[in-house]
């Protein structure tokens, strides 16, 4: 495997960090290291580092695309597929666990946001204030296919700005039983404001909606962590 340099010195550990059944596809640690399995499912390495809240987050893999629904409900991370919607938090969690993954946590999501800014893939304002022009935004509930526009790719992650809302394991501050969804395709009436990736709102975990989907996180060491 080709060696890459990294501020986190993870390059020496890549052989051990890549999940079984996956191999290198493209990119680097600096701009998004992509792996894929024999069926074409792709994940991107998020190098360990600090998130927005000053917490150190260990390396993890995030699905390159919003998850789509494959044969026998197998979760796909592939281009040119419709995101898997009308799935509630509990079922999305079970699907992620079926491939030894998990839904993304608040801490991990925050780490991606900070990483994108630190790598100059997007500006602070674009990530934290207004995502206009950086993803698919619509007042309707319809979504675009995964990876439909190369301009909506940042550090090799597609559709992290506008498209479907993403289930996370974070609990709502107002209603502890609710879970937080992030990002999404919301746009203001005048079209001047679009939800940035950091946008969040609470939803009943039993909710299944046509504009809520999910991503899957894979550990770099196979050890499950509590969220």
Q: Is residue 226 one of the residues assigned to a domain? A: no
Mean pLDDT, residues 26-54 taken together: 95
Instruction: Check: CB of residue 141 under 8 Å from CB of residue 209.
Output: yes
123-156, pLDDT tens digit by residue?
999 999 999 999 999 888 899 999 999 999 999 9
Q: Is residue 16 one of the residues assigned to a domain? A: yes
Q: Is the pLDDT of residue 98 over 70?
A: yes
The pTM assigned to this predicted structure is 0.90
Q: Is residue 1 one of the residues assigned to a domain? A: no
Mean pLDDT, residues 183-205 taken together: 92
Residue among 90, 59, 97, 57 nearest 75 (CA): 97
Q: Is residue 3 one of the residues assigned to a domain? A: no
Q: Is residue 24 one of the residues assigned to a domain? A: yes
**Domain of residue 212, residue span:** 11-219
Q: Is residue 225 one of the residues assigned to a domain? A: no
Q: Is residue 4 one of the residues assigned to a domain? A: no
Q: What is the dihedral of CA 119, 197, 144, 67, to 10 degrees?
A: 80
How many domains does the chain fold into?
Answer: 1
- The CATH number assigned to the domain holding 20 equals 3.90.1580.10
Phi-psi region at 181: left, alpha or beta (left = phi > 0; alpha = psi -120 to 50): beta
**DSSP string covering 56-79:** EE--EEEESS--EE-GGGPEE--T
Say how many C-beta atoms besides its own lie within 10 A of residue 226's C-beta: 5
Confidence of residue 13 (pLDDT cuts 50, 70, 90): low
Q: Is residue 6 one of the residues assigned to a domain? A: no
């Amino acid at each position: 495997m080709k060696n890459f340099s990294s501020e986190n010195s993870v390059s020496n550990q890549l052989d051990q960090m890549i999940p079984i059944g996956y191999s290198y596809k493209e990119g680097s640690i600096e701009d998004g290291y992509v792996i894929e399995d024999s069926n074409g499912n792709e994940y991107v390495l998020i190098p360990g580092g600090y998130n927005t809240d000053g917490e150190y987050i260990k390396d993890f893999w995030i699905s390159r695309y919003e998850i789509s629904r494959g044969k026998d409900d197998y979760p796909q991370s592939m281009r040119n597929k419709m995101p898997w919607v009308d799935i509630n938090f509990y079922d999305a969690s079970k699907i992620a666990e079926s491939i030894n993954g998990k839904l993304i946590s608040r801490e991990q999501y925050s780490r991606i946001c900070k990483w994108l800014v630190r790598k100059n893939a997007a500006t602070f304002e674009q990530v934290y204030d207004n995502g206009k022009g950086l993803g698919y935004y619509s007042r309707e509930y319809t979504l675009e296919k995964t990876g439909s526009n190369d301009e909506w790719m940042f550090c090799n992650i597609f559709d992290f700005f506008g498209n479907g809302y993403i289930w996370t394991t974070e609990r709502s501050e107002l209603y502890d039983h609710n879970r937080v969804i992030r990002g999404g395709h919301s746009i203001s009436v005048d079209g001047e404001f679009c939800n940035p990736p950091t946008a969040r709102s609470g939803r009943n975990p039993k909710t299944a909606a046509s504009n809520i989907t999910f991503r899957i996180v894979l550990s770099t060491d196979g050890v499950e962590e509590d969220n």
